[in-house]
């Protein structure tokens, strides 16, 4: 039985903030897509969570979405979860690419597999939603349209698997709360239906402007990505600070990655593909 899962990096091809509801949450419309790479989570014999990898120091292993997912799963099945987890933290934290949410989703997939439970069951979706708005989409880790808090999901067809993708982060964490707090409250209209790439190109990320107000370097990343040859779409993901570029082919992506890395050697880059 496979005991390792990838917490696939999440990107928002578009993210429209429509309103803030009375419960304090924001109603959004978004197109989720996923990279083929991400954190690596494995089952371990020892209880708890051990963390390694380049971003291990940024995590508090005692209070992590992986451990919360395990605790929620234990309550769901009515018995303690045996053993624990080891996380190889490859993705930066507070980066808008669903690192913690993707790791929680990976934990749920691992536990479901071990217990013979279908992760598509409504009770698992509900548990995922209780952990965070992005966790249900990360549980599936396939292209989805998300509405409500982002946890009402509809599968999306027509997004090309294997499309070259470049993720860029300035190595500056950006918390979600302050970005939403800086949103100006203006509803700029719905996300288009139909072809996801066309909808994404016609769409926007309403959190880009407030994120840039807090962290101006995001604007610099976007300018660089837009200037690259062969880029099909460049945008900030989620609430930032990670930005992404979709490219027409691997060669264009790799040339862009090399150019950006040479100019900004301290930034984090991940050349990958859409899952």
Is the same domain home to 98 and 189?
A: no
Q: Do 29 and 102 reside in the same domain of the chain? A: yes
Structure-block tokens of residue 86: 């080891």
Query: Domain check: are 13 and 47 in the same one?
Result: yes
Instruction: Indicate whether 47 and 119 sit together in one domain.
Output: yes
Neighbours of 40 (CB within 10 A): 18
Q: What is the CATH number of the domain that holds 16?
A: 3.30.230.10
Q: How confident is the model at residue 60 (pLDDT cuts 50, 70, 90)?
A: low
Query: How many Å separate Cα 120 from the centre of its chain?
Result: 19
pLDDT 10s digits, 155-176: 999 999 999 999 999 999 999 9
Residue 122 has a pLDDT of 97
Q: Which of 137, 155, 173 is the last residue of a domain?
A: 155
What mean pLDDT is reported for the chain?
A: 95
Say which CATH number the domain at 264 has. 3.30.70.890
User: What local confidence, expressed as pLDDT, does residue 21 receive?
Assistant: 84
- Once rounded to an integer, what is the mean pLDDT over residues 7-22? 95
Element (H or E) spanning 243, and its range?
A: strand 243-247
- The whole-number average pLDDT for the span 250-275 is 98
The yes-or-no verdict on residue 266 having pLDDT over 80 is yes
Contact 70, 107 (CB under 8 A): yes
Domain ranges, residue 262 = 164-273
Confidence of residue 63 (pLDDT cuts 50, 70, 90): low
Number of domains in the chain: 2
Write down the pLDDT at residue 1: 55
| Cα radius of gyration (the chain) | 18
**pLDDT tens track for 195-233:** 999 999 999 999 999 999 999 999 999 999 999 999 999
Phi-psi region of 37 (alpha: psi -120 to 50; beta: other; left: phi over 0): beta
pLDDT of residue 25: 82
pLDDT value for 22: 79
Are both 88 and 129 inside the same structural domain? yes
Residue of 36, 10, 33, 18 lying closest to 199 (CA atoms)? 33
Q: Cα 245 to chain center, whole Å? A: 15
* DSSP states along 148-176: ETTTEEEE-----TT-EEEEEE-S----H
Q: Please count the CA atoms within 13 angstroms of the CA of 114 that sit on its side-chain side.
A: 20
> What is the model's pTM?
0.95
C-alpha span between 245 and 252 (Å, rounded):
10
Which of 105, 130, 155 is where one domain is finished?
155
Say yes or no: 26 and 121 in one domain: yes
Among 42-46, 56-60, 260-264, the least confident range: 56-60
19-36: pLDDT as tens digits: 988 777 899 999 999 999
Which residues are 152's β-sheet partners? 147
Question: Same structural domain for residues 147 and 217?
Answer: no
Q: Give catalytic residues, as residue numbers.
A: 10, 134
Same domain, 71 and 148: yes
Same domain, 149 and 170: no
Strands annotated E in 177-221: none
Residue at a domain's end among 127, 155, 183: 155
Query: CA 200 to CA 233: how far, in whole Å?
Result: 8
- Residues 180 and 260 grouped into a single domain: yes
Question: Do 147 and 60 share a structural domain?
Answer: yes
212 and 172: one domain? yes
């Amino acid at each position: 039985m496979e005991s390792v899962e990838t917490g696939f990096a999440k990107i928002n091809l578009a993210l429209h903030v429509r309103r803030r509801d009375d419960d304090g949450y924001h109603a959004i419309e978004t197109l989720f897509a996923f990279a083929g790479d991400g954190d690596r989570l494995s089952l371990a014999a020892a209880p708890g969570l051990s963390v390694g990898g380049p971003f291990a120091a940024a995590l508090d292993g005692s209070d992590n979405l992986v451990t919360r997912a395990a605790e929620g799963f234990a309550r769901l099945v009515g018995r303690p979860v045996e053993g624990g987890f080891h996380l190889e933290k490859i993705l930066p934290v507070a980066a808008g690419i669903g690192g913690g949410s993707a790791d929680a989703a990976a934990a749920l997939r691992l536990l479901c597999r071990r217990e013979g439970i279908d992760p598509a069951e409504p009770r698992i979706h509900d548990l995922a939603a209780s952990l965070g708005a992005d966790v249900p989409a990360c549980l599936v880790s396939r292209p989805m349209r998300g509405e409500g808090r982002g946890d009402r999901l509809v599968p999306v067809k027509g997004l090309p698997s294997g499309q070259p993708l470049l993720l860029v982060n300035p190595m500056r964490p950006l918390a979600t709360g302050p970005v939403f707090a800086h949103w100006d409250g203006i509803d700029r209209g719905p996300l288009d239906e139909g072809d996801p790439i066309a909808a994404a190109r016609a769409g926007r990320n309403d959190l880009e402007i407030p994120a840039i107000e807090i962290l101006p370097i995001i604007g610099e990343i976007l300018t660089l990505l837009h200037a690259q040859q062969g880029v099909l779409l460049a945008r900030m993901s989620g609430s930032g600070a990670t930005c992404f570029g979709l490219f027409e082919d691997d060669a264009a992506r790799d040339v862009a990655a090399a150019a950006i890395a040479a100019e900004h050697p301290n930034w984090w880059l991940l050349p990958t593909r859409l899952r």
